[in-house]
């Protein structure tokens, strides 16, 4: 049976929960990117990050930078969590040329940043609880909602752990084939 590792980063915990569900489905070990796990004994590495300001969260980028030669030799899958409704066409403002990616494009981009053999990628809905945000995040998002979304800051909970677990099971079937 292939050895699998899920490496995630998460600021407010939702991506950690999704990562755990993927790891359960995949029967994989799980590690926080901050702990810089050694990937060399794994056949498949699954990366997970939330999207913040249109980018991956810094610890997963640090992990990628520090482990690129090892990741490039492994099978790779990646997922992201994000606010689905911000990223769907026609994007924030309705302008067609707006530079926004879909969840799937973000997930695919994360997988391909490794240089490894990408077997799959997936975008999942995340969670945002305004009362939990630190001052900087709340300030940024209040501005974002007021000026771009033209409504007050709203939370959402799009976490779907059964789907994340099913995706983990699909990865297991793919990697053992
Ligand atoms: C400061 C901030 C910026 C965010 N930027 C984006 C974004 O650019 N696009 C998006 O789709 N979601 C964005 N989100 C939503 C997060 O991706 C979502 O809440 C995610 O589930 C958070 O993951 P975590 O709980 O693991 O930190 C943002 C959330 C915060 C708090």
Q: What is the pLDDT of residues 124-140, one digit of tens each?
A: 999 999 999 999 999 99
Q: Is 129 in the pocket of ligand 1 (CB under 6 A)?
A: no
Domain 4-129+157-176 has CATH 1.10.260.40: no
Q: Is 33 in the pocket of ligand 1 (CB under 6 A)?
A: no
Q: Is 82 in the pocket of ligand 1 (CB under 6 A)?
A: yes
Q: Is 29 in the pocket of ligand 1 (CB under 6 A)?
A: no
Nearest CA to ligand 1 atom 3: 52
What contacts 134, CB < 8 A, 6 or more positions away?
Answer: none
Residue 45 pLDDT exceeds 50: yes
What are 157's strand-pairing partners?
A: 127
Q: Is 10 in the pocket of ligand 1 (CB under 6 A)?
A: yes
State the Cα angle at 21 between 20 and 25, rounded to 5°. 115
**H/E run at residue 58:** helix 58-71
Which is the closest atom of ligand 1 to the Cα of 103?
11
Q: Are 138 and 153 in contact (CB under 8 A)?
A: yes
pLDDT tens for each residue of 140-161: 999 988 887 788 998 999 999 9
Q: pTM for the complete prediction? A: 0.94
């Amino acid at each position: 049976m292939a050895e699998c590792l899920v490496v995630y980063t998460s600021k407010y915990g939702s991506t950690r929960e999704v990562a755990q569900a993927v790891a359960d489905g995949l029967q994989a070990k799980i590690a926080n990117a901050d702990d810089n796990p050694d990937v060399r004994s794994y056949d498949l590495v699954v990366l997970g990050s939330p999207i913040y300001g249109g980018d991956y969260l810094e610890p997963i980028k640090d992990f990628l930078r520090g482990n690129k030669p090892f990741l490039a030799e492994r099978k790779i899958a990646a997922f992201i969590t994000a606010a689905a409704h911000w990223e769907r066409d026609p994007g924030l403002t309705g302008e067609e040329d707006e530079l926004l990616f879909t969840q799937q494009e973000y997930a695919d981009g994360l997988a391909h940043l490794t240089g490894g053999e990408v077997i799959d990628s997936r975008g999942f809905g995340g969670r945002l609880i305004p009362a939990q945000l630190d001052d900087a995040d709340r300030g940024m998002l209040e501005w974002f909602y007021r000026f771009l979304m033209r409504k007050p800051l709203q939370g959402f909970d799009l976490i779907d752990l059964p789907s994340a677990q099913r995706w983990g099971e699909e990865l297991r079937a793919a990697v053992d084939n």
